[in-house]
Amino acid sequence: MVNQYANKGLIIIAATANSGYTAFPASFSNVIGVKAKDTFNIDAEGLRDKGVDFAAPSEHKIWFGGNDITLQKSNSYAAPYVTAMAGRLMMEQSWINNVWQIKKHLYQKFRGKCVQYIPDWIEKGWIAGKVLKSKEEVYFEVAAKEEADTVILYDKNEFNEYREKHIVYLGNEIAEQPDTQCFFWSRRNRKEQILCSRIKKENINIPVILLKSGKEQDQIWWLTELRKSFEAEGYNAYAISTEQESVLYDLEYIPFAVDENISNKIGDFLYWQTYYNQSDLIICGIQEKESIGVEADIFVRIENGKKQTGIQIYCDKIKKAQMCFGTLGEQQIKEVYDCLLTILTEDEDGE
């Protein structure tokens, strides 16, 4: 709904939650998120941790009924300040007509760089020249190139052809953000977000489930189906994949730890992300020879045989379960989920 109207030109400015946790719609990329502070400025930490763009004054003084009234410090009272700033900008520069342009110009006011860390803005997307590997459905409507608000590209040399559209770049080459008036995402955005993460206050204190499989397995499908199962039981699972295409399925992309600088910061990044998202557990999918530098509480190995798929589940390096499936479908995923939930709740009972 938000993406539908934002891509039609509606400018949405929303206060984030006073609780301090991630809140929607303020945390969506297609929304200008605001929190309260003494002065108007970029909220770089808020953008990195929970998608909030700006901090603004909220304790406004108004004359009402013969009395001077000072409003309390509240995110809701800060949002109108940014709304006025955006309105004035659009009035002075009439060519500005979308959220990205407003964000970009307000960031430049403070000599800041406006980076979108999550490509969650897509309403209608066109995928260029490649068939997606997963059988799971992407989170947006797949459309013809002419109808799409966003193009998903694998070749950085094509950027100039789509200057009027948002771009999600999934190619292997490193690419600089093009100078356009639309949203842009590449894996470099996520790496930058990870490297800028603050040092965590303590170790991650929610369960971490690690799924390791070969390239033959549909990792994205496994993660989305398991996340759905946990959500159906009221658990908020933070699902991670090392595959770039995972961003098209509303999963969290984490580059596997080949870069030591990235490896050293992934724990910090996950701590703050799961803290602000109030996550109950982490589910992470990796392929053979990959690592994300975070220790798992439960380890699930998925092995392809000639006719069957073998599943082995370990907790504290002790094998808890072993399964073999001739075919893989929702029912088989549910069996794996039930086993994981039993192990997790056994740990809770033991405490």
- Per-residue pLDDT tens digits for 280-335: 999 999 988 887 778 899 999 999 877 899 999 999 889 999 999 999 999 999 99
Per-residue pLDDT at 347: 52
Contact 239, 211 (CB under 8 A): no
Cα dihedral 93, 98, 101, 106 sign: positive
Name residues whose C-beta falls within 8 Å of residue 199's C-beta, 6 or more positions apart in sequence.
Answer: 268
Nearest to 223 by CA among 203, 201, 243: 243
Band (257; pLDDT cuts 50, 70, 90): low
* Helix intervals (H) in the chain: 2-6, 44-50, 75-92, 99-109, 187-195, 219-232, 260-276, 330-350
Contact 67, 58 (CB under 8 A): no
- Does residue 205 or residue 44 have the better pLDDT? 205
Q: Average the pLDDT over 107-133 and give the result.
A: 89
Cα dihedral 222, 228, 233, 238 sign: positive
Of the ranges 32-46, 64-78, 282-296, 327-341, which is most confident?
327-341
Per-residue pLDDT at 348: 54
DSSP for residue 196:
T
Task: Give buried/exposed letters for 237-252 (b at 16+ CB in 10 A, else e).
Answer: bbbbbbbbbbbbbebb
Nearest to 305 by CA among 287, 291, 284, 323: 323
Per-residue pLDDT at 1: 86
Q: Name the token pair of 72.
A: 């309390």
Compute the mean pLDDT over every residue in the chain, rounded to the nearest whole number.
91
Asked if residue 71 has pLDDT above 70, the reply is: yes
- Bridge partner list, 309: 304, 325
Contact 298, 207 (CB under 8 A): yes
Q: Is the peptide bond before 178 cis (omega within 30 degrees of 0)?
A: no
Contact 64, 50 (CB under 8 A): no
Strand spans (E) along 16-149: 32-36, 41-42, 54-56, 61-64, 67-70, 124-127, 141-142
Cα 207 to Cα 237, 242, 269, 280, 284, distances in angstroms: 10, 19, 16, 8, 11
Contact 223, 285 (CB under 8 A): yes
Per-residue pLDDT at 68: 79
Q: What value, to the nearest 5°, has the Cα angle with vertex 128 and ends 163 and 185?
A: 55
